[in-house]
Homo-oligomer: A and B are copies of this chain.
Amino acid sequence: LDKGNTDMPVNTIEWINNKVRIIDQTELPLKTIYKEYSTPQEVWEAIKKLRVRGAPAIGVAGAFGVCLGIQTSTSTSYPAFKQELDTVADYLKNCRPTAVNLSWAIERMRRTSEDNKSLPIDKLINILKAEAIRIFEEDKLMCRQMGEFGATLIQDGWTVLTHCNAGGLATADYGTALAVIYKAVEQGKNIKVYADETRPLLQGARLTAWELMQNGIDVTVICDNMAAMVMGQGKINAVFVGADRIARNGDTANKIGTYGVAILAKHHRIPFYIVAPSSTIDPNIPDGAHIPIEERAAEEITCGFGKQTAPDGVKVYNPAFDVTPAGLITAWVTDKGILQPPFDKN
């Protein structure tokens, strides 16, 4: 697989010297601050506050967080060790509910432990750390694979709309939806991007615009409510977004606003693609109605960026994700290939 020319300007998440190092995404784009964590509690806080975010990246963070919790274990028996592992695994798994990658990665750590429970604890710890690094490395590889497959859907000269950040900052490598764009650009295609700012936390304006600019890609920021007009002007050839969880029937949870973008794309007959690694598919859930949707604090809307912008005591509804029904999705781009509908059959 071609590693390509795109060097992501940041290392979103890494395992260095038995610590987890992340770039604090709440400080971007104004400050580039890296943070090192040595406890699961710090990782939990970083996930909760969206210092590290994006479904694939929080999967990696969860696996690394488990390592932090067990690497200094002094347990001498497997049952005692398992109890330690379960405690930290359950703690991290419940930090954010919607992205399935978090529980997927943590359950994989738990299975790896079970599969090696006859080993001495120190050996088991090393195996678990290797497994977390494997999750990280596999995520990098999956980004490249999604980029390869997805780039076949983009023609030279196209302008693409994206929502939220499904880029390098959401993964261990160069993204899901943005991997497709990076790869198309590497192939010599001339691609422009419109980035929805993505209220309330502005991941599009703060993160997607920043990483595309760092990589020299032409990006224009719009407010979420301008996407319809831009589509109506005929400026958009395709929509590419990421995913936080894909149900068995293809219904896809992603950042709030994605469902609306999908409806607008359908109205304007613009193809609408989901790009996500296979770790985002949840075979245990039949459809979107069963995906838990995180609701977040009202202050994200009423006091978003340093200033109160709504009346005291106003009622607010702040779901962090929505579900796009499979019927609105043109295709799913995964690391295994492009899935056409019907999702469950294919």
Contact = CB atoms under 8 A, between A and B. Distances in A.
A322 interface: yes
A74 interface: no
A196 B322 CA distance: 16
A202 B260 contact: no
B257 A225 contact: yes
Contacts of A199: 197, 199, 223-225
A200 B197 CA distance: 10
A267 interface: yes
A50 interface: no
A311 B213 contact: yes
Nearest to A306: B307
Oligomer copy total: 2
A229 B315 contact: no
Contact of A309 (B202, B225, B229, B267): B202
Contacts of A259: 228-229, 232
B224 A224 contact: yes
A136 to B, nearest CB: 27
Contact of A30 (B206, B256, B308): B308
Name A's interface SS. Answer: mixed
A210 interface: yes
Looking at A202, A205, A267, A310, the one whose CB has the most chain B CB atoms below 10 A away is: A310
A151 to B, nearest CB: 23
A131 B270 CA distance: 50
A263 B256 contact: no
B198 A309 contact: no
A263 B228 contact: yes
Given A223-B256, A256-B229, A267-B267, A314 B202 contact: no
A302 B205 contact: yes
A26 B123 CA distance: 64
Contact of A322 (B210, B229, B257, B301): B229
B305 A305 contact: yes
Contacts of A196: 225
Interface in A311-331: 311-319, 322
Contacts of A264: 260, 263-264
Nearest to A223: B199
Contacts of A319: 226, 229
Contacts of A302: 205, 221
A222 interface: yes
Interface of A: 29-30, 194, 196-200, 202, 205-206, 209-210, 213, 218-230, 232, 256-257, 259-261, 263-264, 266-267, 301-302, 304-319, 322
11 contacts: A29-B310, A210-B311, A221-B315, A221-B317, A223-B256, A225-B260, A228-B260, A230-B317, A304-B305, A305-B309, A307-B307
Given A228-B257, A228-B263, 17 more contacts: A29-B311, A29-B312, A200-B223, A205-B310, A206-B311, A213-B313, A220-B314, A220-B315, A221-B310, A224-B225, A225-B257, A226-B317, A227-B260, A229-B256, A229-B322, A263-B264, A305-B307
